[in-house]
Amino acid sequence: MENKILLEIVTPYGSVFSDQVDEFSATGSEGEFGVLPGHAPFLTTLKIGMLTYKKGQETGFFFVNSGYAEIGPDKATILADSAERAEDIDIERAKAAMKRAEERMKQAEKIDFARATAAIQRATIRVQVAEKKGSK
Q: Would you say 107 and 82 are in contact if contact means Cβ atoms under 8 Å apart?
A: no
Nearer residue to ligand ATP within complex by CB, 13 or 42: 13
Nearer residue to ligand ATP within complex by CB, 5 or 98: 98
Three-state SS for 39-93 is: CCCEEEEECCEEEEEEECCEEEEEEEECEEEEECCCEEEEECCEEEEHHHCCHHH
Q: Which residues contact 103 (CB under 8 A, 6 or more apart)?
A: none
Q: How far is the CB of 113 from ligand ATP (least distance, A)?
A: 16
Nearer residue to ligand ATP within complex by CB, 60 or 126: 126
Positions touching ligand ATP (CB under 6 A) are: 13, 65, 82, 84, 88-90, 93-94, 97, 119, 122, 126
Q: How far is the CB of 89 from ligand ATP (least distance, A)?
A: 4
